[in-house]
């Protein structure tokens, strides 16, 4: 990930329905530093509009209930502001995965 001014590029790995819908393993989105979850979701919707209605809610500010974001494979992302660093990445997958 690289930072340019107040914008960082974030790699988002896609799994399950997200990967099948997007037809790719990952997306890179540009975000402001410390983005809120709706900013991340909106950036994903812009990068891959096909995700809207299947993975991303129609309002493009939240994920469908069946989907979840994870930061660095270590912590699930809630509704608050994210604290993304240059070497961070997000994973997007079904909230039912593994359970």
97 belongs to a structural domain: no
22 belongs to a structural domain: yes
13 belongs to a structural domain: yes
**Greater pLDDT, 44 or 84:** 44
The model's confidence at residue 85, banded by pLDDT at 50, 70 and 90, is confident
Number of domains in the chain: 1
Does residue 45 carry a pLDDT above 60? yes
Report pTM: 0.87
Query: Can you give the CATH number for the domain in which 36 is found?
Result: 3.10.20.30
* Range of the structural domain that residue 71 is part of: 3-78
99 belongs to a structural domain: no
CA distances (Å), 19 to each of 24, 50, 51, 76, in order? 6, 11, 9, 19
The model's confidence at residue 22, banded by pLDDT at 50, 70 and 90, is very high
The model's confidence at residue 97, banded by pLDDT at 50, 70 and 90, is low
Q: Considering only CA atoms, which of 46, 40, 41 is closest in space to residue 56?
A: 41
96 belongs to a structural domain: no
């Amino acid at each position: 990930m690289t930072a340019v001014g107040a914008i960082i590029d974030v790699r988002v790995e896609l799994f399950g329905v997200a990967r099948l819908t997007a037809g790719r393993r990952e997306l890179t989105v540009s975000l402001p530093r410390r983005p809120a979850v709706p900013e991340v979701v909106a950036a994903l919707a812009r990068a891959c509009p096909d995700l809207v209605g299947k993975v991303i809610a129609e309002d493009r500010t939240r994920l469908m209930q069946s989907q979840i974001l994870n930061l660095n494979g270590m912590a699930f992302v809630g509704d608050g502001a994210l604290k993304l660093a240059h070497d961070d990445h997000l994973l997007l997958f079904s909230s039912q995965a593994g359970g």
